Structure 1
Amino acid sequence: MSILRCHLKVIIAGMLAVLVSAFSVTALAHDSPDLPEPVLPAHICARLVPRQVYSSGDDTQRLQSAIDNCPQGEALQLLAGRFSSGPLTMKSGVTLWISHGALLAANTDPRIYDENGHCGTLDHKGNGCRPFILFKNTDGGGIVGEGVIDGQGGKLMKGEDESWWQLARRAQTEGAAQNVPRLIEIDDGSNIIFHGITLRNSPGFHVTLKNARGATFWGVRIDTPANARNTDGIDPISSQNILIAHSFIRTGDDNVAIKAGAGGPTRHVLLVDNHFYWGHGMSIGSETVGGVSNIRVRGLTLDGTTSGLRIKSDISRGGIVSDIRYEDVCMRGNRRPLDFDTRYDVHASGSNIPVYRDISLSHIAGETGQLVLRGYDAAHTLHFALDGVYFSNAARWLIESAQLLIGPGGVSPVPPGEASLQRSSAPADCAKNWIPFPVTDAP
C-alpha cells in the first residue's frame, strides 16, 4: 500500500523480551516485588481540635501558623471534627496528618483564592486562582491520615449563584475557560508523600504535580461525581519518579493523566495495584510535547471509565511517547477500552506531531467497545506489542497507521486482515479483582 493505513505484522517468536521489560531500579527505587509502604511520621509538633464556637468560622490563620511553626520532619495532626480553611502553603519537611473522622473543607469564597481578579469567573486563560493546598519548592513532608479533604466544588461559591462545577460547565457551553482552584498543587517539590487520605469534590484538578522530583501516593482515595467537569485525579506534569499504588479513584475527568509540557519530560512513573471507577481512564496526554517515557502500569482495574488505557495528543501539543508498559489490566463497562489516538482534537493546528512507540500490552482483559489504535500518518506510525489481549467478540478495532507485534498469548478479537492465532494463554480471570469503591466516613 502506498499509504500505510493499517499495517499489521505478526511475530510469534521472541516477543516476551519485548513485551516485558524491567523497570530500572536506578531510575525509580520503588520498583521492586515488595514495594515499601510509607510510614506515618514519628513526631507530632501539634494536635489541633475543631473549634466549637468562634466568630469567623475559619481556621486558615491557625492552620497556617501551625504549619509554619512545625519543625521539619514532624507532623501537624488534625483531630476528629470539621475544619474550614482558605488557601494553605506547606513547608518543607512538614506533614499534614488528617486523622480518622477529621474533615478539612475548602472555603468557597473565590476572592481568597484570587490571583489576578478573575477567580470565580470565565475568561480565555483559566489561571486566575491559587490552589487550596500548595507545595512550592518543598522537599519532604506531605499529607497523610484516614481523614478527608473536601474541595466543596458542588457548593455555591460565596456571594454567587452557582458552584465551581456549574461555572466549569458554563465555560464549556460558552467556549471559555473557568477560573477555579485546584485542590492540591506541587510546584518544583520533591519527596512528597500522600498516604491513606481521601480527596473529594475538588473545584478543579485534585492533585497536579509540576516539575516534581519524587512523589508517592499510597492508599489514596479520590471521590468526585462523574459529571464534575475537569476534575482530574492525579496529573504528573514534567515530573519524574512518581509512584501511585493501592489507590482508588473516581472523578469527572481523567483518573490519572500523565503529561509533559514545555517545562520538560515526564518519566519514571509507576502505577501498581490501583482501582479506577467512573472517569476518563488511565491517560497519557494530551500535552506530550516535552516527551513521556518509562511508564509502568500493572495490576489496574478500570470499572466503568469511558476510556480505559489511553494516550491522547494532537499536532498542537504532541511529542514522543515511548517505553510504556501495561500489564495485568482488567476492564469492564468502557466505551473505548483501548484509546490510543494522535488526533485528540481534530481541529488542532501546529507542527508537533505525536509519536507513540515501544508500547506494550500484556495480560489485558476487557469486554466490548471500540479498540482504537490511530497513528498520525505513514511516516508517523504507532508501534505496539500485544500479548494476551482479550476482549469480547463484540469489540471492534479501529486501526490506522499502526504497526503491531503480536506475542504468543494472542489477541482477541483478531485485528482486521490477520489470521487467527493459536493462543498459548487463557484470558485473565478478572472476577476476583472487582471491588466496590471504599467510601470514607466524614463529618
Structure 2
Amino acid sequence: MEFSRKSHVIEMLVLAILLFELLSSSVAGFRAVEHATTLEFPALNVRKHNTVLTDFGGVGDGKTSNTEAFKAAIVNLSQLAADGGAQLVVPPGKWLTGSFNLTSHFTLFIHKDAVILGAQDESEWHHLPVLPSYGRGRDAAGGRFSSLIFGTNLTDVVITGNNGTIDGQGAYWWNKFKEGTLNLTRPYLIEIMYSNQVQISNLTLVNSPSWNVHPIYSSDIIIQHLTIIAPIDSPNTDGIDPDSCTNTRIEDSFVVSGDDCIAVKSGWDEYGIKFNMPTKNLVIRRFTCISPDSATIALGSEMSGGIEDVRAESITAINTQSAVGRGAYVKDIYVRNMTISTMKYVFWMIGSYGQHPDPGFDPKAIPIIKGINYKDIVADNVTYSARLEGIKNDPFTDICISNVNIKLTEKPKELQWNCTDVQGVTNRVTPVPCNLLPQKEIDCPFPEARLPIEDVQLKTYSVTGYFS
C-alpha cells in the first residue's frame, strides 16, 4: 500500500513537470506578458514590427561574436520596410560584434543594460573605399574600415536607446595608429552616408577607435542626448562631425574627447572642391565639451566644400583649447550664450593648418571666411583672449564680437589679442581687442527665423516585450 502511494506521488510529479514544460512552450507569450518590460522613447517614426537580437542567435556574453546575428536580423527586417518598418532591440548583455549595416525605415534600440562591444579582430570589420570628398584615408592612403554601425542610401533610420552603450574598445586601434602600422583608416563608431531622416539619440558612446558620430552627404539629421567619452590623450576621437550635411540639429549632449568635440567638415582640398557639397543649416545648442587639446566647435580643418549658416547657442566649454589650399568658404556663423572655464583661447581662427591629402592641391585655392558672429560670452581662467590669423591678401572679414567678458588666468600671456589679416568690429569686450577689430555700438546678429530642422517633432513610441 505504501509503495502504491509513493508510485502515485511520483507519477503526479512527473505529470506536473511534463504539464509545466508543455505550458511553458505553448504559452510562452503569457510568460512574456507576465514579465514584460515597456520601453518608451522619442523617435522620428514608430515601427509596426519589433524583434530582439536573441531571436537571430545573438549571445550577450561579451565573448561570442554577434556580427552574423546583427547582419541576419537586419537583412530579415529590411523586408518589412514597406510594411510599417521594424525595430531591433539589443537586450541587456554584452554584445561583441564587428561592423554591420543598417536599413531604411528601421530602428536600432539599445537597452540601458546593453553594451555593444567593437570586435578587436580586424577580419570582423568590412572595408570601404575612400570618401570621394577626401580622396584618401585620414590614417592611411588606401581605403578604410567600415564604422561599427554603418548605413548608406537610407531613409528614416533611428539609432537610439534608453542610454544603452556602444564601446568601440579603441585602445587596440589607438596603439596601431601611434605605432604607424595601419594600412587602412580606423573605423568610426557610427557613420551614416547619403541618407535622410536620421536620428541618433539617447546613447553613451565610449572609446571610439577614431571619430564617434559621422553623418556625411546626408540631410535632415537629429543628434541629441548623447554622452560621448574618450581619454583626453586618445588620437582623433572627435565627438560629432557633421560632414557635407544639410539641416542638422545637435543638442543636449556632453562630450569628453581627445580631439574636437564637434568638427564641422565638408571635404579635403581639391577633392572637397570637386565634390562641392557644403555643410549648411546646422543648429548646435545646449552642448557641453571637455577637450584640453582641441576645440569645442571646430569649423574644419577639412572644409573645402564650404560651411554656411551655423548657429550655436547655450554652449559650455570646460578645460578646452579651442581651419592654405582649402578653397571654398566659411560664412554666416552665429554663436551666442557661451560659458567657458579654463581655456587656452576663447577665439581661435587660423588660415594655415598646413595638412593636405596629396601634392595635387591647388595652393591658389584660397577660402572666403566672412560673417563670423559671437555674442554674450563669459569666460574664466583664460590664457589668451584670441588668436586670429587670416590669410595674407585674403583677410577674414565681417567678424563681429559683442558682450564678451574674459577673465584671465593668474599668468596670462602679455599679448592677449594676436590679430593679423582680419577685419571686423567689437563692442563691450574685455580685455580690449586688437586695433583690427575697432569698437562700434553694435549688437552682433543671431538669426531669429528658425531653420526647418528645428521644428521637426519626435513621436513617443512604446513597445512592450520580454527583453531580459
Alignment TM-score, normalising by the size of structure 2: 0.72
Greater share of residues in strand: 2
Q: Runs in 1 of length 4+ with deviation above 6 angstroms?
A: 346-349, 418-425
Q: Give the 5 Å matches for 1:15-414.
A: 38=43, 41=46, 43-49=48-54, 51=59, 57-70=64-77, 71-72=80-81, 73-115=85-127, 124-125=140-141, 127-145=143-161, 146-154=163-171, 163-171=172-180, 179-261=185-267, 262=272, 263=275, 264-278=277-291, 280-281=294-295, 282-307=297-322, 312=323, 315-345=324-354, 350-367=363-380, 368-370=382-384, 371-393=386-408, 394=412, 396-407=416-427, 410-414=428-432
Which consecutive unaligned segments of at least 5 residues does structure 2 have?
Answer: 1-41, 131-136, 444-468
Greater share of residues in helix: 2
C-alpha distance in 2, partners of 1:244/1:381? 27
CA distance 1:374–1:382, shift in 2 (3 Å) = farther
- Cα displacement (A) at 1:131: 1.6
- Cα displacement (A) at 1:95: 0.9
The answer as to whether partners of 1:320 and 1:354 remain within 8 angstroms in 2 is yes
Give the letter aligned to residue 316 of structure 1.
Answer: G
Amino-acid identity (%): 25
Q: Aligned residue pairs: how many?
A: 368
C-alpha distance in 1, partners of 2:348/2:387? 5
Describe the superposition over 1:74-94 as per-residue Cα deviations: whole angstroms up to 9, x where unpaired.
311111111111111000111
Give the letter aligned to residue 109 of structure 1.
Answer: D
- Cα displacement (A) at 1:354: 2.7
CA distance 1:402–1:214, shift in 2 (3 Å) = same
- Cα displacement (A) at 1:113: 1.9
C-alpha distance in 2, partners of 1:358/1:216? 25
CA distance 1:289–1:39, shift in 2 (3 Å) = closer
- Cα displacement (A) at 1:316: 2.4
The answer as to whether partners of 1:212 and 1:238 remain within 8 angstroms in 2 is yes
CA distance 1:44–1:335, shift in 2 (3 Å) = farther
CA distance 1:245–1:151, shift in 2 (3 Å) = same
C-alpha distance in 2, partners of 1:391/1:230? 29
Describe the superposition over 1:109-149 as per-residue Cα deviations: whole angstroms up to 9, x where unpaired.
1122253899xx99741533122111100011121011001
Alignment TM-score, normalising by the size of structure 1: 0.76
C-alpha distance in 2, partners of 1:230/1:243? 22
C-alpha distance in 1, partners of 2:202/2:373? 31
Give the letter aligned to residue 397 of structure 1.
Answer: W
CA distance 1:123–1:364, shift in 2 (3 Å) = closer
The answer as to whether partners of 2:61 and 2:94 remain within 8 angstroms in 1 is no
Describe the superposition over 1:333-385 as per-residue Cα deviations: whole angstroms up to 9, x where unpaired.
22122111111228997122132101100001213122111110244333211
Which consecutive unaligned segments of at least 5 residues does structure 1 have?
Answer: 1-36, 155-162, 426-443
Q: 1:415 aligns with which of 433, 441, 444?
A: 433
C-alpha distance in 2, partners of 1:257/1:231? 11
The answer as to whether partners of 2:201 and 2:224 remain within 8 angstroms in 1 is yes
Give the letter aligned to residue 402 of structure 1.
Answer: V
C-alpha distance in 1, partners of 2:307/2:279? 5
- Cα displacement (A) at 1:231: 1.3
C-alpha distance in 1, partners of 2:166/2:139? 28
The answer as to whether partners of 1:207 and 1:235 remain within 8 angstroms in 2 is yes
Describe the superposition over 1:239-297 as per-residue Cα deviations: whole angstroms up to 9, x where unpaired.
11111000111111111111112231110010011111125221010112111100000
1:434 corresponds in structure 2 to none
The answer as to whether partners of 2:318 and 2:343 remain within 8 angstroms in 1 is yes
- Cα displacement (A) at 1:208: 1.4
